[in-house]
Chains A and B, each alone.
Chain A
Amino acid sequence: MDINLNRRDFLLTVAAATLGIAAAPAILSPAAYAAGDFPDKPMQVLIPTGEGGGVDQAARAFDRIWSKYLGANFEYSYFPGASGQVGYEVFISKREPNAYNILFGNIGPEMIMYATQKVNYKYPEDFVYIGSMDVDDSVIWVSADSKFKTIQDLVEEGKKRQITLSTSRLPHPSTIGVLALAEATGMKVRMIPYGGGGPARSAAITGEVDGCATFLSTSLGLGDQVRFLTVFNNKNIAPSLTNNAPPVNQVFGTKIPPMSGQRAIAIHSKAAKAHPDRVKKLTETMKQVFSDPDYKEVAEKAGTPWEFIQYGDAAACDESAREYIALADRYRSLLTATK
């Protein structure tokens, strides 16, 4: 076959290919907009952490199904930095409060950040959570070849010397869990922030630190490279995935509250007041996702076991947010540079 492109044809082909690539997200996505109805344009999702992180994966998985019920596509932007503060600041000060702009975050770490850092916004005056989609417990794990076989081993060693545990960032529920455990048992521990989950996990696997304190879901992909020692909740909801690691209170008789992450959706408080109908649609369609059989498959593909998936309404999110603010206040001196 003889192909003979002249300059005009070539330029048209290039233009068509460029348009094709640019339009790929729209072509491949399911939503079609009804004029006048909310939403009649794509939802803008702001993620206060980096691309490829746990929140990003969970958000994309959830939104894939949510778009069916909401009738909208989702466009993402990432504003990591200062433990999530950058993302929240951008959301509050630079995004229009119209319910099209939503923030997909993680209540635990981000409310601890809110309580311990000097931020330019207020909860719940500036933003509210309208619903959460999972409960991800904090855990302590060590490398599979570590000498620590149980959490008791780690605590005993911590009475003789200072234990080091990696974490993505200091303002994190797992940090508070570890500090509470240290306070209760006399273990000496130092949390080492790595600025991201990946480097924190890598440091524990490669032996730079004794272990890692983080959320469970982000470590499940590590398989038999790690040994889970304990879970910061009253019940281990995924024993088969965590070598049956015991709940911390069960081992030490402590009363440490559950230290979990809850991935949740926030909107501007102004939007909630000005557009109650839109918020109603968002929450109602959000609930529908949990009964969709496709969501189980998509969530598990994104690395969240189905056992973790759990809907929480606005009231439950608010209660959780306030609990973390109180916990952060209690451990402020250890989470910040203040003495």
Chain B
Amino acid sequence: MHLSLSILADQFLLNFSYLWLIIIATTIGIIIGAMPGFGAANTIILLLPFTLAVPVDVALIFMVSLFVASHMGGGITSILLNIPGNGGAAATCLDGYPMARKGMGQQALVLSFVSSTVGGMVTACLSIFLLPYISRLAYYMHSVEMVVILLFGITLIASVASDNMLKGLIAGFLGLLIGAIGADHIYSTPRATFGFIELYDGVPLIAVLIGVFAISEALTMMESASVLSDKGRELMKQAGWAETWEGVQMAFARTWHMIWTSLVGLVIGIIPGAGASIAAFVAYQQSRLFSKTPEKYGTGIPEGVIAPEAANNGCSSGDLIPLLVIGVPGGTTAAVMLIVLTYHGVQLGPRLFIQNPGMGYGVFITMMIAYAVMLFTTLPLTRYVSRLVLIPTTVLAPIIIAFTLVGAFAPRGYMFDLWLTLGFGVIGYLCRRTGYNVVAVLIGVILGPMLEANVMRALRISGDDPLVFFSSPVGNGLWLALAFSLMIPSIAKWRRNRAALAAS
């Protein structure tokens, strides 16, 4: 893979000459990222006539900018309204929304933007200089390793439900059951579809996301006059530029936290088919695990916003690596990019970095510039965007329901999805009213089908030998890490008790 400073310099200059395009693409990306039901893939599909008509450099810069911006935009509604714009932003709700409720929505948004930018830039930079090495990760991460990584995420169910373990586990189990609806992963045998063809491909994630989070949140909002507590309302009204600066300081006081959680995202992103949802949940789980104050997670702390946001933006770099290095898209957006690049005659895979290294490495340069642009355009806006929570709930709740139902309908165009979303809205509302954790439900829905697919695949490859899960060195290392991570809370508790005994 030929890399030289002149290639990087050329790409920087090329990208700067298209700065106007990056600004447009990132603006569109942030908007669609913040809207549940709209994503980078369907937006790029919609704009195919444009991307096919313009030169390949322009198309690539536009698509990459839009792609990374959609990841960044997903956190906005997670923080302000407890409504994730996409699966990758679901984990941001856990601490982002409690921060907003306390009147720290502005700081939470700044934390989200800064950690997204740092995460995206660090991983893009690493991708440029370590591409030949990190691209090899895909050669060691197969179904067995994916099973263990997914289990890392699934153990988060126990963490988020720590205040009522039984109810949390029931909610998680419900999520896993919902995730199991649809055709099985090997023989396509329909399960629990009740004859509805709309469910053959599984319960659409958007319907669950919007129903369980947005609709149920809107229904809950109607029970009070404001999203904010009285104290939070006062704080929000007084908020100014100082709060933006405070958010920046909060973020950079946790620079290492941003870096290592973005690396979690990068590694998971490289695995084809993994994606931002897993990255965000696993990073949040790991962040909580290694924290000195894990009990504070979920109450609205900066680390709980930084971890998922840095990870899902770190995942952006990882997502594109399989596409560029071996010519196989790692996700839906990458698959759509493949259409455009193939049409323009770009040969992806190892040859790209020999024949056209500028284009290969240029993707990561575009990412870095897009993140820088986004930071400069979004930071000044946090002061105004965060005031969304000052709108009375009597106005806000109907708007949320109307907008999100459009988002539920948009991806597939089924009326069925609207009813499904409303059904999940009622389920989500009942969960909230009775103390069942809706995040636990969502973790089950998102990670359950992936876990099942990988378990079934690993077993099928091994000839149905369950020992396959302990057959690879990388997998075994991950099992040890998983076991260790599950024991850490107990060890920490035991040490605290012993210290308390010694002190008394």
Contact = CB atoms under 8 A, between A and B. Distances in A.
Interface string A14-30: 00000001001101110
A202 B326 contact: yes
A198 B47 contact: no
A128 B50 CA distance: 33
A52 B336 contact: yes
B413 A81 contact: no
Given A76-B45, A170-B188, A205-B328, A199 B272 contact: yes
A145 to B, nearest CB: 10
Interface stretch (B5-13, B136-144, B490-498): B136-144
Contacts of A86: 197, 200-201
B232 interface: no
Interface string B191-212: 0000001001110000000000
A192 B326 contact: no
B55 interface: no
Contact of A170 (B42, B186, B202, B273): B186
Interface in B173-221: 182-190, 197, 200-202
Contacts of B460: 190, 192
B110 to A, nearest CB: 26
Report, as a range, how many residues of chain B touch the other chain: 35 or more
Contact of A169 (B53, B182, B188): B188
B49 interface: yes
Interface string A44-60: 00000011110011001
Nearest to A85: B200
B345 interface: yes
Interface string B335-346: 111110011110
A273 B395 CA distance: 53
A222 interface: yes
A223 B200 contact: no
Given A50-B335, A82-B201, A223-B351, A193 B185 contact: yes
B348 interface: yes
A37 to B, nearest CB: 24
Interface in B320-377: 322, 326-330, 332, 334-339, 342-345, 347-351
A81 B183 contact: yes
A201 interface: yes
Interface stretch (A206-214, A246-254, A276-284): A206-214
A194 interface: yes
B25 to A, nearest CB: 12
A52 B461 contact: no
Given A81-B200, A201-B328, A56 B49 contact: no
Interface string A327-339: 0000000011100
A186 interface: no
Interface in B414-452: none
Given A85-B200, A190-B461, A208-B143, A301 B345 contact: yes
A93 B196 CA distance: 12
Report, as a range, how many residues of chain A touch the other chain: 35 or more
Interface in A42-86: 50-53, 56-57, 60-61, 76-77, 79-83, 85-86
B345 A222 contact: no
Given A51-B45, A198-B328, A202-B272, A303 B342 contact: yes
Contacts of A201: 328
A158 interface: no
Interface string A68-111: 00000000110111110110011001000000000000000000
A243 interface: no
A93 B197 contact: yes
A306 B34 CA distance: 43
Contact of B335 (A51, A82, A225): A51
Given A221-B342, A225-B327, A301-B344, A85 B349 contact: no
A203 to B, nearest CB: 7
Contacts of B186: 170, 193, 337
Interface in A154-180: 162, 164, 169-171
A136 to B, nearest CB: 15
Given A21-B47, A221-B348, A223-B347, A301 B461 contact: no
Interface core residue of B189, B197, B349 (most chain A CB under 10 Å): B197
A337 B326 contact: no
B163 to A, nearest CB: 37
A76 B182 CA distance: 24
Contacts of A195: 185, 453
B293 to A, nearest CB: 39
B478 interface: no
A52 B453 CA distance: 22
Contacts of B463: 162, 190
A198 B461 contact: no
B339 A52 contact: yes
Contact of B349 (A29, A199, A221): A221
B302 to A, nearest CB: 34
Nearest to A77: B413
A118 interface: yes
B41 interface: yes
B412 interface: yes
Contact of B329 (A52, A169, A208, A209): A52
Contacts of B139: 206-207
A194 B42 CA distance: 23
B202 to A, nearest CB: 8
B343 A301 contact: yes
Interface in B288-339: 322, 326-330, 332, 334-339
Contacts of A118: 190
Given A195-B453, A222-B326, A206 B349 contact: no
B339 A194 contact: no
A61 to B, nearest CB: 8
A152 interface: no
Given A79-B412, A192-B460, A192-B461, A301 B342 contact: yes
A13 interface: no
Contacts of A336: 187, 189
A21 B25 CA distance: 12
B201 A80 contact: yes
A169 B335 CA distance: 18
Contacts of A32: none
B143 A225 contact: no
A223 B47 contact: no
Nearest to A80: B201
A120 interface: yes
A190 B342 CA distance: 32
B339 A57 contact: yes
Interface of B: 41-42, 45-50, 53, 138-139, 142-143, 182-190, 197, 200-202, 272-273, 322, 326-330, 332, 334-339, 342-345, 347-351, 412-413, 453, 457, 460-461, 463
23 contacts: A29-B49, A50-B332, A50-B335, A51-B45, A52-B334, A52-B337, A60-B339, A82-B200, A83-B183, A85-B200, A120-B197, A162-B463, A190-B461, A202-B326, A206-B139, A206-B142, A206-B326, A208-B142, A222-B328, A224-B351, A225-B327, A301-B343, A302-B343
| Those 4 A-B pairs whose CB atoms lie nearest each other, nearest first | A81-B201, A52-B335, A28-B49, A89-B197
Given A52-B336, A202-B326, A206-B139, 12 more contacts: A24-B49, A25-B46, A51-B332, A51-B335, A77-B413, A207-B139, A208-B143, A209-B461, A222-B349, A223-B327, A303-B342, A337-B187
